[in-house]
Structure 1
Amino acid sequence: MSSLPQIEFTPEVLARIAPDVFLQRHLDLGYRPNLRKFDEFAPLAVTTGDLTDLAHRVVGSSSVKSGSTTVITTISVSLCEVDGTETGEFAPVYPVVEVLRGRSGAPTDEEMVLSQALYEHLYHAHVVSRSSLLVEHLGLAVNDAADPEKPPQIYYPDLNPDEYQLLSQHPKRYTYVLHAYVKVFSKQTTTSSVYDLCYLSILRALQSTKLPRVYVSEAASVTRVVRHRMTTKRGVVSSAAGVLNLDTNQELLVPLPVQDGGVSANFGVVIHKEEPVLLCDLCGEAEEASVTSRISVTSNPEGRLKRVSIIAGDCAIPLPKLKQAIELATTRAKVVSQL
């Protein structure tokens, strides 16, 4: 009987058709498919503030690069009237995650899950206080009647108390609303690693955020056509309304106070030779498909835990491995805080 010919697969193909076999072969050699050690994290590079543009309401930005994955976050600001229904001491940040992998269309499930998870994590981590987003002092833009072409002069009574006296307050109060737009450029990575990078990128972008001053332009007369209720005749009336504007003066920017949100790190537990093995910072198709028992820890450099998530998949997570993951997450936070 003739023997069947042997079939050979490239590492990329084997990782896709038999990820568990591909991972176990590397674990036998003491390394992972990405050639990192079991307790080794991927290197990080962080930059902040390079994409700030007040003309487009971008008040903070950051870029985080880890291997072949790059995450770019921009923080934009909008204004909202305070109606008294807000509760809680801390304010939310509204993230929108977009994973760019050569496709277009509606948001994927991965993007929506990441956005919702980041929203909840940032809110419960108490990163931004609600009081720090209140617009305390509104300015007033006054046009020169003698020279209509001249740019308006903006007055802030709190900046020059000796020259100007505030006779009345604006009848409404306003607050800033922060939006985080996150773009992920990656060919292959795990959902857990993308989450950690997005969380770090948003925090660094918030730390670089500087809020602009807000002023009210002079009330402009607007002509409106209305209809009389009784005679149904149409008439013309004029109404005046001030317009809120963001001051683009760089010298008047106010840094946003941001609390310590910690550093997020992910781990996976896999059985190798009948013993559980802890893998740090999962990456690649083989680890994404083979490792189903996972731990996510958010800690600060002092070892204070912000968040712990445990998913027990095909193998149980022993208590010593959980303790090891927390210790590694604290060490990771110390390293990342120095970047």
Structure 2
Amino acid sequence: MAEIEPITFPPAVLARVSPELSLQRHLAIGIRPCLRTFEEFRAVECTAGGLSRYSEESVKDSSVLGSSLVKSGNTTVICTITGGILEEDLPAEVVNEDAEAVNAIFAPEAIEEEAKEEFDSLESNAAVYPIVEVERGRIGAPTDEEMILGQRLYETLLHSGIISKESLNVRVGLRSVEEDGKVVITYFDDSEIGSELGPKRKWQYVLYAKVKVFSRSGPLFELVWYSLLQALKNTKLPRAYIDESAADIKIPVKIRGNFAAVREQYQIICDPLEHDTLILNEAALGYASNFCIIDIDEESRETVEPEDQSMEVDSRSVLLADVEGEEEEASSKKTMSIVVDSKGEELKSVTISGGVDNDQLKRAVELARLRSKQLL
């Protein structure tokens, strides 16, 4: 006669085979698979500026302008900020005229004024162009998750107004040689005298962010957003200059009997030592928190052992803060992502998926406010 033995799985294997069953068994007795309480967040460790070219321990010829290393649980996020210089050759009034024409065609009269105000506010904001890579031991095209994270980082940063276009203006200096042969670089301020002496053309910095994630163990937007903010906080913009001899050079040309002058292209040189700190709008800084709501199965309550009944949860659904692990992420059908300013007062962004009642939303906002103050 064959003897039948029950099949048992270790917790890590059960989480992959049946994540919902594993999570329901834990929640029924009042604990989470990660052994945190329902409303407890993971600790966040951050090291900022270690990879920047302007830090003491970094390589001086590095192209990294700002960096951060964030660790939360088993997940590690590394963010580096690089940049380039772009010349402004399109007058701002042309952009405004195009925007007014578009609004006149597509915007109804009731919302035309509101759309115009929103456009004007966005026009003064700047953003960073991010690339997110989640290391999974594979190479190839970016995944849907990586592209969505990159787009969400860009839009959140642009609409929050953390970086203004004015803060990315390049204060271009002039390099000249004095009578004694000494090379002098003169940087002009933003006053009227400085604007008259300096170059008439304008340039702006363009910032790029590369975010790498290792040991992914849950939703990533909150961690990569925090890593991006910390990298921007220690970003230094190098000062740039041009040679005085090339400041106003025009090359005469003759084409089929017609004379014209072609202006020589400037060669922008970045100073290896001199730099300015990137100015951020501190009032617009906001930190993100994620939550999920799990409905407890009645069958899981019946399987609670007698010694664990004292820990049993009375409510039919529970609010979990800072989703972690495959069990919680796979079972999350109702999720919330909330961005609150650094003072914990103003909501910057709220993303809700699934049916969430008012009490659960209020509690999540309250926890997000406390979390934002802690991260600050």
* Bigger helix share: 2
Shift of 1:171: 3.2
Residue in structure 1 matching 2:276, options 250, 253, 275: 253
1:155 corresponds to: 186
Shift of 1:269: 0.4
Shift of 1:146: 8.2
Letter in 1 for 2:64: V
1:234 corresponds to: none
Alignment of 1:182-261 (within 5 A): 182-186=211-215, 188-190=216-218, 192=219, 194-218=220-244, 240-250=264-274, 252-259=275-282, 260-261=284-285
Letter in 1 for 2:289: A
Asked if residue 114 in structure 1 is aligned to residue 153 in structure 2, the reply is no
Shift of 1:195: 0.8
Cα distance change, pair 9–332 in 1 and its aligned pair in 2 (3 A) = same
Letter in 2 for 1:130: K
Letter in 2 for 1:277: V
* Fraction of identical pairs, as percent: 40
Structure 2 residue runs without a partner (length 5+) = 55-60, 96-119, 247-253, 257-261, 299-315
Shift of 1:169: 4.1
* CA distance in 2 between partners of 1:318 and 1:179 (Å): 39
Shift of 1:68: 0.9
Say whether the 8 Å CA contact 2:53–2:65 is kept in structure 1. Answer: yes
Alignment of 1:253-332 (within 5 A): 253-259=276-282, 260-273=284-297, 275-300=316-341, 301-312=343-354, 316-332=355-371
TM-score calculated relative to the size of structure 1:
0.83
Root mean square deviation of aligned Cα: 2.9
Shift of 1:19: 0.7
Shift of 1:52: 0.8
Which portions of structure 1, spanning 4 or more consecutive aligned residues, are displaced by more than 6 angstroms?
144-147
2:40 corresponds to: 40
Shift of 1:41: 0.6
Cα distance change, pair 198–29 in 1 and its aligned pair in 2 (3 A) = same
Shift of 1:46: 1.2
SS in 2 for 1:266: strand
Say whether the 8 Å CA contact 2:232–2:278 is kept in structure 1. Answer: no
* CA distance in 1 between partners of 2:224 and 2:194 (Å): 46
Q: Deviations over 1:233-272 (max 9, x none)?
A: xxxxx9843301221224x423423333211000000111
* CA distance in 2 between partners of 1:303 and 1:157 (Å): 39
Alignment of 1:2-21 (within 5 A): 4-21=4-21
* CA distance in 2 between partners of 1:326 and 1:239 (Å): 57
TM-score calculated relative to the size of structure 2:
0.75
1:133 corresponds to: 168
SS in 1 for 2:213: strand
Shift of 1:217: 2.9
Letter in 2 for 1:156: Y
Structure 1 residue runs without a partner (length 5+) = 221-227, 231-237
Residue in structure 2 matching 1:81, options 64, 78, 87: 87
* CA distance in 2 between partners of 1:37 and 1:73 (Å): 30
* CA distance in 2 between partners of 1:128 and 1:323 (Å): 30
How many residue pairs match? The answer is: 313
